[in-house]
Chain A
Amino acid sequence: DTAVSQTPKYLVTQMGNDKSIKCEQNLGHDTMYWYKQDSKKFLKIMFSYNNKELIINETVPNRFSPKSPDKAHLNLHINSLELGDSAVYFCASSQVLRNIGEETQYFGPGTRLLVL
């Protein structure tokens, strides 16, 4: 009964390959995110979608392309993988509480990507 799920949990691949990570949330939230957590444990936003529309696109190489087929799914495709892409990628979702303008983000379990 996971709220935010990601697949795969682990991904080991060679440089130059193309890979995708999938994310699904069953919370009915409008907004979904992708974060990258590097080896120094620093968590940084990459993308955010609200109702399937891209609203945040941080300075991320264009080898990374998010796709949101519906508001419950946000997938991340990575082309031409590089060594520096090795990290943990977290998907998250949130819903703004309009009465107080606050939101809590719920994170998926993470996908550990290792590029060899």
Chain B
Amino acid sequence: EVQLVESGGGLVQPGESLRLSCAASDFTFSNYWMSWVRQTPGKGLEWVANVKQDGSEKYYVDSVKGRFTISRDNAKNSLYLQMNSLRAEDTAVYYCARVDGASLGGLSHWYFDLWGRGTLVTVSS
């Protein structure tokens, strides 16, 4: 079955670190950009980071730059998010998402076409 399964969430104190993992199954993982997206009741959905197929390009939302690192291991069909210096506002459900694209009229359109079920990260003292 084509799926993404996240793990690694939990309860941590402010300032601590956590590493999230996402295992991909039944598709050619190395063909896709991958993302982390988080969701909170108050702020809704927020894109966190993207990584290119070969890991050579990475992009982050400003609020996590310098604290979070996205990476991937194509040999293990896995995506990671290293989260350091965690803050209370990082509390959310973190989703791993596959980025697919389509070319229309010469323009590239991107979208999240496959999502994991998410892992909850709670940052609280």
Chains A and B come from one and the same complex: no
Interface residues of A (CB under 8 A from B): none
Interface residues of B (CB under 8 A from A): none
